[in-house]
Structure 1
């Protein structure tokens, strides 16, 4: 009996340089490309390293990532911390958060309009007072849908003027 060999070949995309820019360049909308990366910085540093704890607040609070690294398509608003979908499509979002408090709740939520999509959370105990957390999601958005990060009531995070330890990134994968 003769054997049958099936060979499946998939295209390979090699990315050099900035992978965010490479992905952003793959999708063009009617208004151009859509991609952003923004960094959270504290209002003022409390030491030579520029770190500062943020929170707790008495209510859920939108996190404003004011230091914009990339904002192709101007869909991210650095004054409000909100990304507003300029076109209907499938989008990818990712974030990294950092904290260094002791015996406190730390974490953030990724929001779509008024709905919690993702949450990272931890109770910081006495022996472990420095942590990073990251998560990612693919969302189908309509024109005008808003995506943003939120610090839940009574939670803490930390930020730095010198180190990009809290980031929020999103880009359009495919227009629909």
Structure 2
């Protein structure tokens, strides 16, 4: 079971990273559209994962899998947004951003390291970076709490639709 989970994690993260590096993010896509659609997909992914954790025979293992796929998705989403913004407006950052640069910047913002070698220059870029910082706190706080709360919840059998059996009344 653990080996299967590790292989699923490696496969999922590899697919996400490959997709990120294969996408032509230097096209004039709307950075806002990419970010909003991506965040909606991310919220759907977290909701699916919480439900999966609640129904799992091994909720702790499933929670680890959920976190190790959700966080890379989140980071790649912001990395892609930064690359698109840099391609759309040369003044967004202190230089053009490659896929690697975008990922590097998103991870340094997430880790709160801020080396200063890549910086947001335009107001739009600074707003998106600020949004990532706030979302990072939400991810680290709320999302982890929700996922870990799902681990500690009593497991619901498949097909019950979340309905709990009635409790017995003792007099």
Q: Normalising to structure 2: TM-score of the pair?
A: 0.27
Higher relative contact order (CA 8 A, sep 6+): 1
